[in-house]
Chains A and B, each alone.
Chain A
């Protein structure tokens, strides 16, 4: 007995059409085998019921082989297309046949009213996977003669657990590859050995079962030949399926060979069974052995005799063991793929559509991506059902159950393969199959529970489920959520609500809000509509949170939910922007208003100050001019006029020869002239002290201080240190500042001592006029102006116009300190003494 790994062989498919052909032909073979087997079962009136059941079990086991092979072939196609991380360019457009697309089924909607149906189907696949793996493992161990009694079942349970863990853990993927390579090598050895035996004319002898006593008749030989050929064909097809490169690499011929091998094997079984039945004379035990693993082992040992000699029996047991284990593994893969298909929809992505496995919640099912996903879930389900039936038949406690299961499985296979071309009926049948499978497996479980050794299988299944839950709890939750989640109709209603709210409320509201915002109006988000949208989308989100499968019934759900998310995001962003804008705008307006008010106050103050200064300057200039004019009027003009009169009088006296009188007038004229010259010189000095130009600032200050002290009666000291070179304008500023400061001291301070200090400071000179007078509260500049202290203001303006700084430090009873700093042209550099 050769089983093919249905889910582990991984040739990459080359397209949907090739895959469809591969899937259809083995199905046809099964269709041919099934009715024949049923007929055979019905044509066994002369056998005891137990024998008929045993025969039925054999047929079921054969069906299992076929189904597993089909799963392997199709799984390979599927996995090649939906493998992990395919690049977009390599994605194959794989339109699912309409009859295989459950989303298109009207009966789906009908069935979806009862979520438990779909969920039970999904669970059934998992059970099929585990049960099939366990049965195949038990077959393998039994064929290899490992243990007796319950030992093969216990070992099979361990194998199931191991296989499940391997299948769900990406870290154990290399083990799978090693198993596949081993299967391929064993199959190659068997094939070569069979060919050699055939060439040497020993095939007939090899096919003679030792269990059948006496010379074999033609019918018996035919039965054994057909059985062996079928097994070899299945093995060959399986080897091609799992071999390196896959059918795509080997081209269309290899795919035809695989299909031909599978079909031939099934046909041989279909042919052998009626012959076997009609041959008669076979004991029930012999019939069972013909279909059992020991017969296969014996036949293989005979075949391998020419190669292995005395070790042929051991080699045959090893080959059977390995191939059965690989077959179990394949069944696991097939069942996993089917379950994954039901749970997560691992169909390859179409261009421009949402990629499955690209869900933004990161629930890409790696397990499913690498597992097989048969195109015909019913086929794999039926195969797995047959596996279970065969296993139950081998352990033999409940023949009626085996028959029932085998019949149901075969019927399911037939229905699947006989799907009519009519679109409507196509659409219904797969769903019916699923319903059948969903019903089969609970029955099978119940029946298995009553059988001998079935407890081990149940335990293994429990362990496997526990292992899956432990390793992939999220997937387990997703499966449960899918089983008990909303129905298709409910989900459709949710989608409609979300779409309607989006189209008619949320999006128009958002558009209006954005238009208003762009028009400069205040943002008014459609809060009610958005809340309604959130409420409508919440159930959909909850459904999607259970796994991507929740939305698999309609691709629109994915897209729609994505649209909803983006709209919600957009609304939140718009709201945030508007809120930030509004808040910032208000803050900015507040700040700006404050700043503007402050600036306005400053501007008004500044303008007022400048106006005052201008008035003061103009007034001062006018006053200065008036003073000068008055001085000229009262001084030089009067004196010169008087001098003119004196000269005229002198001339008159000279005309009268009054020489003495004339001389007197000349003398007076000379005196008045000298006085007038002195007066004019003083006026000139007041306008611009000449010593400032000729003797420098310090000399001018000393001169002024001396006269000031004499006039005011206040002692004054000048302390001048080297400070560099000031511009002429700056010297004038310093002179005027000191002059004004001293005038203020004389006028207001009641000081006894005043000190004028000039010193180097930074890149300039600092002038300090300090008195020990009564002091005052140093006012601010505006207060200075308001208080009419124009002298101080003019001092500050003069200094600041010369790029200097001006400060007044004073307080009542502490004297006053006027500090001015002005930049120098040449910085002061102390002379270094060597």
Chain B
């Protein structure tokens, strides 16, 4: 990602601590965290406003779940991939996530390397689809 614009990223998680840590991690590795939201609706609004390259979002949140929010974002911003990060590893939730075409589904507790690798891949794939280098 050197020599190009830093990927822009939005973190959506109702757990503030984890959201902060996620933002700190991505910041540490060179991402531009355009915003951290502690709820799905706030996250959607943030995406509407900042148009990030990728969204890292929790699944279980008050008000609106991450899956629902991913569906909304898919309709509004089809080019913005969403990576769901959930404490659940249930197949049912994975299936629901696939139904709304999320880019990736990761279980909380995964290593930072796995998370960064997945998010990097998603961004590359997204850019490739959009024809960007």
Contact = CB atoms under 8 A, between A and B. Distances in A.
A652 B24 CA distance: 12
B17 interface: yes
A639 interface: yes
B109 A640 contact: yes
A649 B24 contact: yes
Q: Pick the most buried of B28, B88, B113: most chain A CB atoms within 10 A of its CB.
A: B28
Interface in B1-37: 15, 17-18, 20-22, 24-25, 28-29
B15 A638 contact: yes
A638 B112 contact: no
B75 interface: no
Contacts of A648: 25, 111-113
B17 A672 contact: yes
Contact of A642 (B18, B60, B113): B18
A696 interface: no
Nearest to A661: B28
Interface residues of B, number: 19
Contacts of A642: 15, 17-18, 20-21
B25 A645 contact: yes
A652 B18 contact: no
- Contact residues of B: prevailing secondary structure: helix
A644 interface: yes
Contacts of A672: 17
B87 A633 contact: yes
A648 B28 CA distance: 11
Nearest to A668: B21
B109 A637 contact: yes
A634 interface: yes
B95 interface: no
Chain A: number of interface residues, binned into ranges: 10 to 19
Given A638-B108, A642-B18, A644-B111, A652 B87 contact: no
A222 B60 CA distance: 162
B108 A641 contact: yes
A649 B15 contact: no
A704 interface: no
Contact of A649 (B28, B88, B108): B28
A663 to B, nearest CB: 15
A638 B109 CA distance: 9
Contacts of A637: 87, 108-109
B21 A645 contact: yes
Nearest to B60: A633
Nearest to A640: B109
Contact of A641 (B20, B24, B109, B113): B109
A606 to B, nearest CB: 39
Interface string A431-465: 00000000000000000000000000000000000
A653 interface: yes
A653 B28 contact: yes
Given A637-B108, A638-B87, A640-B109, A645 B18 contact: yes
A641 B18 contact: yes
Nearest to A645: B21
Contact of B17 (A639, A649, A651): A639
Nearest to B24: A649
A646 interface: yes
A63 B27 CA distance: 168
Given A640-B109, A641-B108, A644-B111, A649 B21 contact: yes
Interface in B58-116: 60, 87-88, 108-109, 111-113, 115
Given A645-B22, A648-B111, A672-B17, 16 more contacts: A633-B87, A637-B87, A638-B15, A638-B87, A642-B15, A642-B18, A642-B20, A645-B18, A645-B24, A645-B25, A645-B112, A645-B115, A648-B25, A648-B112, A649-B112, A651-B112
Interface of A: 633-634, 637-642, 644-646, 648-649, 651-653, 672
Q: Which 9 A-B pairs have the closest CB atoms?
A: A648-B112, A641-B108, A638-B15, A642-B18, A645-B21, A637-B87, A642-B21, A642-B17, A638-B18
14 contacts: A633-B60, A633-B87, A634-B15, A638-B108, A641-B87, A642-B20, A642-B21, A644-B112, A645-B22, A645-B24, A645-B25, A646-B21, A648-B25, A648-B111
